[in-house]
Structure 1
Amino acid sequence: MKARLLIAIMIILLLPTIGFAEETTPIDRLEQLSDEALQMVKLHRYEDAKRLLDYFSEQISQSGKGRPLTADELRIITNSYDEAVQATANGTINHNEKINRVTKFRLVMDAITSPNQPLWTEMESPIMTVFGEVKEAVYSGDKEHFHSQLNTFLSLYDVIYPSMKINVDIEQIQRLDTRIHFIDSYRLQVLADEASQQELEALEADLQILFDQMSDDEADPSLWWVIISTGSIIILTLSYVGWRKYKGDREKSREKNRSRGQKN
């Protein structure tokens, strides 16, 4: 009976945690709207995407609950939102560019709601692959391929850049900006000068460090508290149940021994 009581107490203690994890906050709902808008753009349903973005604008102005957004976050959201709206409303922008702009907005909202494992880090493979093509073109002297691949790299980097500014230290962002600006501004020099080509190696190393540090998932301290406390409850419960069973078995064994002694 006591064992059942302890298990019941454990479940009761876990219920608030489970309920909290499932709660949807206003900012989570906004993030969902950004994802729905992106899905509409992928399906070429631009008017539906525009309506979702308009609804997003209404909701963000009314969402007073939850974690307040910082001034920098609001500025980044506003800029990426404006680009997304323009993409869905402007018929002269091609489909791929529409996807890029709305994806940028989608990644920004995710970076705010998922700081430990943001979606923009999933861009590591295409970005690093294209940058490898940039380096290869430089070392082989293929000017046309170099310009083409560098432009592709810059486009991909532009998609994740606003999200990076939410999750990454400003000093790290500025270091990347400096290297990228140099390579982009002095393309011919990078192609011809071995010393300038060292910037390519340095930028590749900085990018890899960036993605590696973001992939080192550190659980939220509150989550660790839940894991530890929950684990402790389970261990204590199982230990108590095992001890009660052991004590009961010993009592039964003693009773049997007493009964045998009395018969003899």
Structure 2
Amino acid sequence: MPDRPIKLLTYNVHSCIGSDRKLDPGRIAAVIAETEADIIALQEVDVGRRRTDGIDQAHVIASLLKMQAHFHPALSVAEEKYGDAIITALPTGAVKSGPLPSIGETRGALSVEITVGDRKLLVVNTHLGLRGRERIRQMTTLLNPGWLHGTGQTSLPTVLCGDLNAIPASATYRLAARSLKDAQLAGPGAPRATFPSRYPLMRLDHIFVTGDLVVYRAAVLETRLTRVASDHLPLLAEIGFAGFSAADSLPLKAAVKNDVQRPDDDI
């Protein structure tokens, strides 16, 4: 059993191109390092793409953090890839990746079984589409046992996270919230927006957990660095297994603003 909560971060890194249009994977790694996250779920990661100098961003970021990366290309053309990554220094087991029902740009998901002390945790990372009906189909697929139950016969404590492109008023969000807990609502404090990073207005990035996990804290990290490193702000949560006490946990560092919602096209 771990002696402290696990810190999990979800972050759309925008191909490591900041709001200042500067390409800098090292800056993304610096943002992550500051959080001391144990598990990092990244979206919009480039691997071998000419537009970002052919860098394997998943490997570079993981190397700078002294961690290992699992990468799934939602989009792959010749040697150029673009998709999602899960980075951690914790022991990992079964890995699953695959496409989701998509309209236009192909979307996918990546899940990794991670050993935490004497327990196993399933982390599912995704980046959903831009259309409401498309997102509903994608979320319905992810909520099926094939994704959330892992590879074994019994369900694992599970985190579903990523850029869901869905605000809390949307049908996609409500679908997930029927069976999973929103980390920003489970932890103390009001939920905060994650996009756009300079003037966050929408809560598009989410961490959902199954009922056998406890959320102690969740925070959107808004600093001078996070406002410029990507067009999304990172979302960090401290989670533990049910029955674990986090009395000695340190508070998350965060500077946040009010969350302003807008209508969504989910129907």
Identify the TM-score tier after normalising by the shorter chain: under 0.3
Structure number with higher relative contact order (C-alpha < 8 Å, ≥ 6 residues apart): 2
The structure carrying a bigger helix percent of its residues is 1
Q: TM-score, normalised by structure 1?
A: 0.26
Q: TM-score, normalised by structure 2?
A: 0.25
